[in-house]
Structure 1
Amino acid sequence: MSTTYLLVHGAWHSGQSWARVVPLLGGAGHRVCTPTLTGYGDKRHLLGPDVGLGTHVDDIVALILAEDLTGVVLVGHSYAGMVISAVAERVPDRIAELVFLDAMVPVDGESGTDVMPVTRTLIDQAADSAEPWRIPPFSLFGVTDPADVAWVRTMLGDQPVRCLTEPVRLVDPVAAAIPRTHIHCVGEEPEGFDRRPVTQGQVWELTAGHDCMITVPEELAALLLKLG
């Protein structure tokens, strides 16, 4: 049976970050969507101070409705844990599973800075720049191979502050009942990026840095295929 995987990239990245995972899921007979959110990658020209979490939620909801996607395994990497949480609130009947891939996991009323307080430091640093609404990439997210580093650098762009300060509203019991899986990248956790204990759903561990779709795509795809 074919499953639709909708893979949502995290902060600073683009849909290109899933390029190594797509053929592995597609080769198993599944549909795979890897949109680039507003302000990143080939949509970088749309970046501006008004781009926020709500913008990215609209991006994904619009795609789901335009493509009439149902039974979606909705995967959010890193910051996109905020995005998929809010998307599920909007279209819960179209989502079969939520997958938080080394991701932020908010509760009602929280912003990214609430979920991961270290991001406040990034915002404070940006405040002293000429464009205080944008945060440049600050690391290579566990990618060390020189060829991979060069590739990742081609897709990285700035993150709008508003993405991290807009809160989510999570009040729909139907959305709250959607099955969820958490994939935690372990072994290379950066200092200060503490992960909250999981209170809902199953937890799988993946030995990898944060950008596991870049460094261990086969292992990641194998986990995702368990949900298909």
Structure 2
Amino acid sequence: MANFVLVAGAWLGGWAWDEVVPALRRAGHGVHPLTLSGLAEKRHVPVGRQTHVRDIVDEVERLDLHDVVLVGHSYSGIPVGQAGGRISDRLTRVVFLDSNVPAEGESFVSTWWEGPAKLEDAIAANGGLWAPVTAADCAGQGLGDRQIARFTAGATPHPGASLADPAVLVRPLEELPATYVKCLLDGAEPTDDVARLLTGPRWRRIDMATGHWPMFSQPQELARLLLDAAGA
């Protein structure tokens, strides 16, 4: 039996996995959707240095989980990649779901594709929070109207402190047993840092023919992929 720890990306809480969880549990596995501090029902919890990494490690240790399949989506690949090195004795695999990956001393903001200043300005203009995406931002990502409405209704502003938090790696990422899931509607190829990691023997790639939020657009297909990854 695996223990899936599911960490959604920016603006989302554990609720984002609601349509993925049942299939994993029916297969006999433990499933633990995690809401990070400052988001969803934890939106009033303060966020500082390494808070999201500690959220993940503390959850695994609090529940005394072993055979962990640690899943990080989008932004959450950064704290998940760091946490994976801290729970290596309990870890089966890390699944990076169309996600960023951490680099020592770098943050989500410092590697932002449009340049750090643009994201820093947006966060500062919104009181230190990154405003959620709108329905228009979801276009072309394989989401129907109902799925977009559910996503945007549940999304909460994301704490800027976590986005600017420099990564601290206690174990090189290439040493982690990892699966990278590329959602093809969000771009056919991963970023250069991910491509380099995929050349190593411990990393493998799987593609999904959907957009950046497959827990909404293809939850059953995502559940099957995660079950396959657990046995990899």
C-alpha distance in 1, partners of 2:227/2:160?
34
Identity %: 35
Q: Which residue of 2 aligns with 1:126?
A: 123
Matched, 1:169 2:168: yes
Number of residues of Structure 1 aligned to a counterpart in Structure 2: 219
Q: Which residue of 2 aligns with 1:199?
A: 196
Query: Considering only aligned residues, what root-mean-square deviation do their CA atoms show, in Å?
Result: 2.2
2:183 match: secondary structure: strand
1:149 match: secondary structure: helix
Out of 70, 79, 85, the position equivalent to 1:83 is 79
Q: Which residue of 2 aligns with 1:103?
A: 99
Contact 1:187/1:207 (8 A) holds in 2: yes
Out of 183, 186, 207, the position equivalent to 2:184 is 186
Q: Which residue of 2 aligns with 1:211?
A: 213
Q: 1:106: Cα distance to partner?
A: 2.1
2:209 match: secondary structure: strand
Q: Which residue of 1 aligns with 2:200?
A: none
Which of 163-172 and 6-15 deviates more?
A: 163-172
Extract structure 1 runs of 4+ deviating beyond 6 A.
none
Matched, 1:69 2:65: yes
TM-score (norm 2): 0.86
Segments of 5+ residues of structure 2 without an aligned counterpart are: 198-202
Tell me the alpha carbon deviations over residues 16-63 of structure 1, each in whole angstroms, 9 at most, x when there is no partner. Answer: 0000100011111111100111111111222x5xx1461111111111
C-alpha distance in 1, partners of 2:115/2:3?
32
Contact 2:6/2:33 (8 A) holds in 1: yes
Q: Which residue of 2 aligns with 1:5?
A: 4
Segments of 5+ residues of structure 1 without an aligned counterpart are: none
Out of 47, 53, 58, the position equivalent to 2:54 is 58
Contact 2:184/2:210 (8 A) holds in 1: yes
C-alpha distance in 1, partners of 2:42/2:120?
22
